[in-house]
Amino acid sequence: MNCIFCGIADGSVKSQLIYEDEDVVAFKDLNPQAPTHLLIIPRKHIARLSEADEKDVLLLGKILLVAQKLARKFDLKDFRLITNNGKGAGQSVDHLHFHLMAGRRFLWPAG
Ligand code: AMP
């Protein structure tokens, strides 16, 4: 399997790493869409949220808490946390990731 985000997680692909622990990695998005745009991923390869299952419950919760920790660290009061699930929703990398974005106004509903 050739997965760019698995490569970032294991260090074989360069990234601007922001956070890592035994389960979760966060790094700067290569093509930022907001002044702060980080990606938070599980080290475990899960292609998208719809492919996670009950075994991943702690991991999914941990990702949310890492997002909270990073928002605090960077003093982000208003931020958006999103995951695109499937091509039709805008997913371009098949490894579960959450976009943590801040620093501009966001429209709702999301485009
Ligand atoms: P999505 O379209 O939701 O799948 O988001 C994938 C994101 O990954 C996009 O915002 C890309 O800019 C970003 N991306 C792709 N390759 C890399 C990389 N090597 N390092 C950092 N971000 C990346």
- pTM (2 decimals)? 0.98
Pick left, alpha or beta for residue 41 (phi over 0 → left; psi -120 to 50 → alpha; otherwise beta).
beta
At 22, list the tokens: 């035994």
> Which residue in the list 37, 45, 95, 97 is annotated as catalytic?
97
pLDDT value, residue 109? 94
pLDDT at 111 over 90: no
Distance 6 CA to ligand 1 centre (A): 12
Backbone angles phi, psi at 39, to 5 degrees: -115, 135
The question of whether 95 is a catalytic residue gets the answer no
State mean pLDDT over 7-13. Answer: 98
Token pair 């208003």: residue: 78
Q: Residue 94 CA: which ligand 1 atom is closest?
A: 4
User: Is residue 19's pLDDT more than 90?
Assistant: yes
How many Å apart are CA 49 and CA 109, to the nearest integer?
20
Is residue 30 a contact partner of residue 92, using CB atoms and an 8 Å limit?
no
User: What are the tens digits of pLDDT across the range 41-71?
Assistant: 999 999 999 999 999 999 999 999 999 999 9
